[in-house]
Amino acid sequence: MKHLINILDLSTDDIKELILIANDIIENPEKYALKCAGKKLATLFFEPSTRTRLSFEAAMLELGGSVIGFSEAQSSSAAKGESIADTTKTVNCYADIIAMRHPKEGAPTVAALNSQIPVINAGDGGHNHPTQTLADLLTIYREKKQFSGLTIGLCGDLKFGRTVHSLISAMSRYSDNKFVLISPDELKLPSYIKKDILNQNNLQYHETSDLQSVISDLDILYMTRVQRERFFNEADYIRLKDSYILTPDKLTHAKQDMCIMHPLPRVNEISVSIDDDPRACYFKQVLNGKYMRMALILKLLGVI
Ligand code: NCD
């Protein structure tokens, strides 16, 4: 494991190991406080971020390492027309590991091909977001104690939502999971994921636009934001943005132990009055993301 571009770069054994490391970090943080002393993480963020960038930075600082980087394309030489390959080769002279977010699908792959140091995909366009999936997996593991036999509802923008694409890929490798794909017609899961992941692995899935008709079946409800920045047309965004708004009354028929997840940021998808419901897991996901990124950095730097 040199780079993490796609969640499928990690075997299920790798994921098990990262979860064990993350759990040990949670229990014994002092053991890890100096593990990355003298190492530098570069966060190259060509797209806005709060959680992912700060989570990577907090992860590295809690491991005793340091952080350099930029948080918008405009403040990097990309604004002057520099290629991803050249930026990556440059950063190789300064850092030990890179976390890159980019609006173009495949950009972190190009970086990895031009890098001697590990590159982590921190979100590439509407494609993948493997470290959000690591956060999601630790959350599912801690809440459900298993990755199998779950009915997983994914709701909202399944077309552009990269967290959904990576989570489906990850969960497709465990047995007896069922996927319920809840979206407006225009925002359905791309057919390449249905073909390459769901059909290829003979997985059960069901598409609907009606959350209420399926909510009682779900063990996990993964809500997502409509991805405004990927739309060609603002009028379409405005028409679709409030397709799903989860309010307490809509949970009446949901299971008592259904896990409500969201990669955040939320816009209107989950009413704040749900935040105190014991089923709300989205702020736990944020914290779990930091621990999984710590585990990943340790693994990729080979210091564990
Ligand atoms: C997600 C992303 O960037 O894809 N956010 C995150 O990293 N937690 C989800 C989103 O922006 O909607």
Q: Band of the pLDDT at 238, cuts 50, 70, 90?
A: very high
* pLDDT at position 123: 98
* pLDDT at position 59: 98
* Residue/partner pairs of 111-118 with CB below 8 Å, 24 or more apart: 111/44, 111/84, 111/85, 111/87, 112/2, 112/3, 112/5, 113/85, 114/84, 114/85, 114/88, 114/89, 115/3, 115/88, 115/89, 116/92, 117/92, 118/2, 118/3, 118/4, 118/300, 118/301
* pLDDT at position 77: 93
Q: Which residue has its alpha carbon closest to ligand 1 atom 8?
A: 263
Q: What is the pTM of this model?
A: 0.97
Cα dihedral 161, 162, 166, 167 sign? negative
* pLDDT at position 13: 98
Q: 58: which strand partners?
A: none
Other beta carbons within 10 angstroms of residue 183's beta carbon come to 25
- pLDDT over threshold 80, residue 195: yes
Q: Best of 160, 228, 264 to mutate for ligand 1, by most ligand atoms within 8 A of CB?
A: 264
Distance 51 CA to ligand 1 centre (A): 8
Distance 122 CA to ligand 1 centre (A): 9
- pLDDT over threshold 80, residue 1: no
CA-based nearest residue to 156, from 147, 146, 165: 165
**What single-letter amino acid sits at 201?**
N
Q: Is the CB of 52 under 6 A from ligand 1?
A: yes
pLDDT in tens, 158-174: 999 999 999 999 999 99
Q: Is the CB of 129 under 6 A from ligand 1?
A: yes
Looking at every residue in the chain, the average pLDDT score rounds to: 97
Q: Is the CB of 225 under 6 A from ligand 1?
A: yes
- The Cα–Cα gap between 63 and 66 comes to 9
- The Cα–Cα gap between 243 and 228 comes to 13
pLDDT in tens, 244-303: 999 999 999 999 999 999 999 999 999 999 999 999 999 999 999 999 999 999 999 999
Residues annotated as catalytic (active site), given as ranges: 51-52, 80, 101, 129
> Rounded mean pLDDT of 131-152?
98
